[in-house]
């Protein structure tokens, strides 16, 4: 069904969300699905394997994308036209090697922003949009929230970490924490830029751009006016 597609991943269920599984899978291509006994193994690009053990209550369903959802499924994997929904998946885990050494959790109350900023600073030459997805530096930010937080903070995904001030990094992390917390608590998601390529920016009406970024080639979305590619270019209000 979704094999070969790059999926959007989301965990509406708070207990499932706490596992951080969706953030790791979001924006990755599903390569293979195997059923072994009551285990379903989903292999994603980058060597990530999701194991869901289906007990009496757990089941996967496949349906049209963005069908209305009653209740809070454990995991939704969205492709271009179809989506797979895991209901009541009591055991849901990723292979340990892929998620070892996680950084501070963005959903902690409060998030440890000082340590996150220090972690992000480890590689000054890395693009900030790429660094934010490195779960060893900051745990929990997926591709969608990365795009939204950068846009909210007027920071380009393409700036090098060394070009971004501590204040800007904190602002990006604060926006991510605020929006993700809101999504967890209220089930409400603000999407101003993610998957909006080719449409006008809701702030300045400039056409939103998108391009793959980093080793995993995950799609970055940005407004070339609110988040100019190079530091020093015209910025709104500057």
* Contacting residues toward Zn ion, per CB under 5 A: 201, 203-204, 206, 223, 225-226
CB of 234: closest distance to Zn ion in angstroms?
12
Shorter beta-carbon distance to Zn ion: residue 80 or 204:
204
- Angle among Cα 116, 120, 121 to the nearest 5 degrees reads 115
- Can you tell me the distance from the alpha carbon of 113 to that of 170, in angstroms, rounded to the nearest whole number? 7
DSSP state for residue 44 in the 8-state scheme = E
DSSP state for residue 106 in the 8-state scheme = T
- Can you tell me the distance from the alpha carbon of 151 to that of 132, in angstroms, rounded to the nearest whole number? 13
Secondary structure (3-state) at 116: helix
Shorter beta-carbon distance to Zn ion: residue 110 or 232:
232
Chain position carrying tokens 């179809």: 82
- Can you tell me the distance from the alpha carbon of 125 to that of 159, in angstroms, rounded to the nearest whole number? 9
CB of 5: closest distance to Zn ion in angstroms?
29
CB of 217: closest distance to Zn ion in angstroms?
24
CB of 219: closest distance to Zn ion in angstroms?
18
Shorter beta-carbon distance to Zn ion: residue 117 or 201:
201
- Can you tell me the distance from the alpha carbon of 85 to that of 181, in angstroms, rounded to the nearest whole number? 22
CB of 121: closest distance to Zn ion in angstroms?
27
Shorter beta-carbon distance to Zn ion: residue 46 or 236:
236
Shorter beta-carbon distance to Zn ion: residue 43 or 206:
206
SS (H, E, C) 160-201: EHHHCCHHHHHHHHHHHHHHHHHHHHHCCCCCCCCCCCCCEC
Shorter beta-carbon distance to Zn ion: residue 121 or 203:
203
CB of 150: closest distance to Zn ion in angstroms?
12
Which residues have a Cβ under 8 Å from the Cβ of 68 and sit 6 or more positions away?
none
């Amino acid at each position: 069904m979704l094999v070969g597609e790059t999926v959007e991943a989301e965990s509406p269920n708070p207990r499932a969300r706490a596992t951080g599984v969706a953030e790791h899978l979001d924006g990755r291509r599903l390569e293979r699905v195997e059923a072994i006994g009551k285990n379903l193994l989903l292999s994603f690009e980058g060597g990530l394997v999701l194991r869901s053990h289906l007990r009496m209550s757990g089941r996967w369903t496949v349906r049209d994308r963005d069908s209305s959802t009653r209740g809070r499924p454990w995991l939704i994997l969205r492709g271009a036209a179809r989506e797979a929904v895991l209901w009541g998946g009591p055991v849901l885990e990723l292979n340990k090697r892929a998620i070892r050494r996680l950084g501070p959790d963005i959903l902690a109350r409060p998030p440890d922003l000082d340590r996150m900023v220090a972690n992000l600073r480890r590689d000054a030459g890395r693009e900030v949009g790429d660094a934010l997805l490195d779960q060893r530096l900051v745990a929990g930010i997926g591709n969608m929230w990365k795009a939204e937080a950068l846009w909210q903070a007027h920071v380009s995904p393409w700036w090098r970490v060394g070009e971004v001030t501590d204040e800007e990094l904190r602002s990006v992390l604060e926006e991510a924490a605020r929006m993700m917390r809101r999504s967890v608590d209220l089930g409400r998601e603000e999407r101003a830029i993610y998957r909006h390529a080719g449409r006008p920016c809701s702030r300045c009406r400039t056409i939103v751009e998108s391009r793959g970024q980093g080793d995993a080639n995950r799609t970055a979305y940005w407004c070339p006016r609110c988040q100019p590619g190079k530091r020093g270019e015209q910025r709104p209000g500057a």
